[in-house]
Every structure is written in C-alpha cells, then in structure tokens.
Structure 1
Amino acid sequence: MLYRLTKVVSAPFLHLLWPTSVIGAEHVPGSGPAIMASNHLSVLDSTFLPLVLPRQVRFVAKAEYFTGNPVTATWMRATGQIPIDRQSPTAAQDMLDAAAQVLKDGELFGIYPEGTRSPDGRLYRGKIGVAWLALATGAPVIPVAMRGTDKVLPIGSSVPRLGRVGVRIGKPVTFTGSHTDARDRRRVTDEIMAAIRELSGQEYVASYAPSRSKDA
C-alpha cells in the first residue's frame, strides 16, 4: 500500500521534470517471478525503471541508506528496497539469498549484472550472480536498457538535471544449466549481457567495471 501511494504521488512529478518513455513493457508478466537485468548508468535507474511498470520491482541497497538521512530511509522502505550490509563477508551470498526469496514470493527483482555504475557509458562484463539467481530459481530473465539517466544525474553529481529518460525492455528468457557449474554461470551471464547490449546499443567492454565505494 505504501509503495503504491508513493508511486501515485511521485510519478506525475517525475514524468513532468524527466519525461520517460518505455518500449517493451508488455514483456513484463502481469504476475509471477522475473529477474529484471539492467545496465547501470545512474543511481536513478532504480527510480525510473519502477516508474514505467505497473508492478513493483525490488532491488537491494546498502544498509546505510536505511539508517542515515530519514528522507532517504523512508523512500527506501516505501519503494520496497532490501537492505544489505556490504561490509559483511557474506554480503554477496546474502544478496542472492534475499533476491531468491523475492522471486519465490512471486515478485519482480531488479539487478545490475555489471555490479556498479558504468564510469563512461559503456557496457561492462557482467558478474555471475545474475546467472546463479536465474539457474537456482528458474525465474525468467528480462533484459532492460536504461537510457539518459546518466545525463540526468551523472556520477559525482548530487543535483539532477532536466532531461529525457528512455527504458527498453526485452523478451523474457529462461535459461537451463546448473547454478553450481561455473561454466554454466559464465555462459548465462554472457548471454544476458549480450541481450542488454542489443537493447542499449552500448559499446561492450570485456572486463569488469571499476568498483565505486559509494554505489547504490
């Protein structure tokens, strides 16, 4: 209820300042679990993707967002974000376990396979967590391409700029293989990244993006 209320109140305001177009929304099922695997250009990606979908999309976010600024904490809870302690030695598996539970509950889970925001607008090699999740749960993967969010809020900026945002959503794909097999995880991850690249048109970099300690 709080999520729907937050969306009803904020959506007209966001659309007015940042006109947002969506292509392929029909590929998102009306019910049941699915993994929304997206490129990552800005911290605003997790705001604009749910904006264009009728269903709630849940993401993980670092725990500090839930204990710091009260406005940010309220927004995180209202939009159904999942707190994760990124300093924990088990943070990666904790994230996957939390995501798996979201999918078992029949919800949409959003993930950025690159693991961090692109520093230069290019698409970087995906990390295998998305494949582990897809193979362990059997949930379909829906590739997503965000456009323009890096212009609205570039890395290093704290005040959004006016601009247009685009979201392209591909057809869902269900993968076969074992989540315990490293080759299967790598293969599935690469296929997911290829689908995202086809949607986004980004130049692909066959190496991992440099990590940023302040990423969402």
Structure 2
Amino acid sequence: MSLGTRLRTRLLTWQPRPPELPDDLARLVQPDDPEWFAREMAIAAAPPWWVWRFVLGSFSWLVSIFGRVEVTGGVPEELRNGPLLLAANHIGDFDPFVVAVALHEVGVVPRIMATGGIMSAPVAGPLLERTGAIRVERGTELARHAVRVTEVALVSGGHVVAYPEGRVGLAADGWPERGRTGMARLALGLGVPVIPVSQWGAHEVLQYGNDWGKLRTAVRAVVRRPALKVHIGPPVQLDDLQMGRVGDANRARYRIAAAITRGLVPLRADETDRPAFVDPTRPTTAVAAYPGGVVPWDIP
C-alpha cells in the first residue's frame, strides 16, 4: 500500500478521541448496537467540547459571509445552566449554522440533531459528532438510539436543538408544520423547558435540491447577503400537561408549533402569504400547522 493510500485511509477513518463512557451508561450499550452509539452516549454525558466552544467563540463570523445575522429574544439566565430543548423550525440545510451562532450569542452551547448521512461523512461527520451533535436515523430501527442519546444529554444538563418537523418544512407557504410528538414526549417525560427558536432567511443560502444549484445559491447569498433572522422566544407553557395522559403529547406538539409560528410572524412581516424567495427544488407537499402564521390564542 502506497504512502498516499495509507494517508487517505487514515484521513477517511479519523475520529477525534471521545470522552470516557461512564460505567452506568456502559451497561446500556449492547453488543448489537452500532459502533457509534457508545461514543455518542459518552459525548452526551460530558461537558461541551472545548474545541466546539472555541469554534463558536472565534469563527461565528464565518456565517456572516452569507448574510446578516439578526438575533432577537434570548434564554432566561436562570435556565442556561440546566437542560434545554430548543425547538426550531427547519427551513434549509444552512439553518443549523445560523441557529448555532444565534444561540451562542445568547449564552447557549448547542447540541444539534443531525441526519445520519451527514454524521457518516468522513472528517466532517466525526467532528460534528464530537461537538455533541446527535445522529438521527429517521425511518429506521436505529431512530430509538437518538432518543436515548438525547435523554442522556438532557439529564447531563445539555442544550439540545431539535426540529419538531423532523425535516425541512415542505408547506407551500413556508410556515412550520405541526411536527411530530417525539420532542413533546421528551419534554413531558423529563420535565425539560422547551424554548421556541423561530428563524427566517437561511433558506436563501442553500437550495433544497442536492445539485450544483447549492453552490449557485451560496454564491448568490454572498453577493446579496440576505437577513438571517433568529428569534428566541419564552419557554412554552407545558406545566399543566403530563406524560402518559391521553392527548397531552399532542397538545404539547401543537403548543410548540404555535410558539415557533408566533415568533416567526415578525420575521416574515412582508412575506406572510408566500416566501419572497421561492426555491423551485423544494417540494410543497405539506400543510402548515397554522397557515398564514395565524395562531389562535385559545390553543388547549
């Protein structure tokens, strides 16, 4: 094997060293679990990686190359040292970067849920994993591992960013879908505060379709520098709901979607009916939880 081949192999298989897996968590890892599960459990139980803190503090300005980051709202100081579920609307592939920068600006160190495809990529995947990102293998039996890792992260005081919609939103008018009950069940089961994170503008940086159009929209964003708006709202009121009580997970789901939608309304002041930027590669096969951003105030 040539030197070049050996170096390439080492690069493609490189992993940053994970923290030690606590004994009480090691007992939860079974022989048939995927090899990454133990690493993610160990990372979830540990404090945020110093490299991740350094990157957020020193290189957040890179996101500003693609647009003007505008952050409003914040996380109450008394909640920043405890576990948090940060529920964000998902508008495009670039928005995790915008959300991470915005949350760092208000004193939060985010652990972001990411698709298995991204987490399996050479170099970038292992780095993302080491930052505390949680792998989500949607539609497979491995999806339950994401729940277990998230529970460990939250019990350990982590700040987990999740997308209730479970994907990039596909509503024709761009408003958030109602989402699934997974986040609601986690919040009710662990008693963790849910902070709504509403965002707009990041969908202009990278188009939905995975082709050369992504490069075109990225270059266009560098030239135009769209506003990348993020609003962090007050905690969603869930105190009157209980895990296991019939209908409460569904009620929590709608309250979370309502909170995200309300925070999004001022960010979309001139785009309530339809996004000003229309991505022809993005399907419009879903329906928003609250079409037009109109949220009734008597949500149960």
8 Å CA contact retained: 2:89, 2:198: yes
Cα–Cα, structure 1 residues 182 and 95, in superposed 2: closer, same or farther, change >3 Å? farther
Query: Is the counterpart of residue 113 in structure 1 residue 164 in structure 2?
Result: yes
- Indicate how the Cα distance of structure 1 residues 126 and 67 shifts in structure 2: closer, same or farther if over 3 A, else same: closer
Q: Give the 3-state SS of the residue equivalent to 2:256 in structure 1.
A: helix
Change (3 A) 1:7 1:132: same
Question: In the aligned structure 2, how far is the partner of 1:206 from the partner of 1:147?
Answer: 17
Choose the corresponding residue for 1:14, options 52, 55, 63: 63
Could you say what secondary structure the match of 2:247 adopts?
helix
**Map 1:67-106 → 2, pairs under 5 A:** 67-70=120-123, 72-86=124-138, 88-91=140-143, 93-106=144-157
1:59 counterpart SS class: strand
Matches within 5 A, 1:6-155: 6-27=55-76, 29-52=79-102, 53=104, 54-70=107-123, 72-86=124-138, 88-91=140-143, 93-119=144-170, 120=172, 121-155=174-208
* Displacement of 1:19: 1.8
> Whole-Å Cα distance in 1 between the matches of residues 251 and 71 of structure 2?
29
Residue identity opposite 2:141 in structure 1: P
CA distance in 1, matches of 2:65, 2:120: 30
Alignment partner for residue 158 of structure 1, among 203, 214, 217?
214
Conservation of the 8 A alpha-carbon contact between 1:146 and 1:165: yes
Q: Which moved more, 1:169-178 or 1:48-57?
A: 169-178
Aligned residues: 205
> In the alignment, which residue of structure 1 is the partner of 2:232?
169
> What is the CA distance between 1:191 and its match in structure 2?
0.8
Q: Give 3-state SS (helix, strand or coil) of 1:22's partner.
A: strand
Give 1:106 deviation, angstroms.
0.6
Larger relative strand fraction: 1
Superposed displacement of residue 154, structure 1: 2.4
CA distance in 1, matches of 2:238, 2:252: 7
CA shift, 1:158, in A, is 2.5
TM-score, normalised via structure 2 length: 0.62
* Contact kept? 2:199, 2:264, Cα under 8 Å: yes
User: Greater RCO between the two (CA within 8 Å, min separation 6)?
Assistant: 1
Post-superposition Cα deviations, 1:37-63, rounded to whole Å, max 9, x if no partner, equal 111101222111111223211122233
Task: State percent identity of aligned pairs.
Answer: 25
Give the aligned residue type for 1:205.
Answer: A
